[in-house]
Structure 1
Amino acid sequence: MRHLRNIFNLGIKELRSLLGDKAMLTLIVFSFTVSVYSSATVTPGSLNLAPIAIADMDQSQLSNRIVNSFYRPWFLPPEMITADEMDAGL
């Protein structure tokens, strides 16, 4: 129980020292409010015209359905590539 009391006292001590350090308090408030809010509102939450390439090895009906499932405005029409082009692109 003494260890928990020591941890609690250290936490109180750190909070008191934080209240005395205005620069650190400002940085903490900014980093956890303003920057999180601005990141969430400025960047879009979805893709917009993302380019994709597909290496369709078997030309099956399922792979054709997968290729046709990428719609605008989120994706550009998929570019069909071969296995050699896929290896070169990596």
Structure 2
Amino acid sequence: MKFENELPYWLAFTHFLPRWGNEKINKLLVNILHSNKMSLSDFFEMEDSQIADLFLLNGKKIETIRTAEQSCQISHFLVEDILSQGLKL
């Protein structure tokens, strides 16, 4: 998967998880990317029950993640705009 395709998911994690704090976000990212060798897009495609079991997250945390996931559409357009201007990320 191309890095550019993952950028909206990175934005979702870094900007749309209110009150999580950097430590919790970073731990989850390490768990997803390194421990489970998954892409962020694969993570967002998982069923809620799979996320709960594999990442030990409760319903409220998963609900927050799903809300952040909805921002990916907006983030996708932002990333496209940035890349179309010739900026490198």
The normalised TM-score by structure 1 is: 0.23
Q: Which is greater in Rg?
A: 1
Bigger relative contact order, structure 1 or 2, given CA contacts below 8 A and separation 6+?
A: 2
Q: Whose strand fraction is larger, Structure 1's or Structure 2's?
A: 1
The normalised TM-score by structure 2 is: 0.23
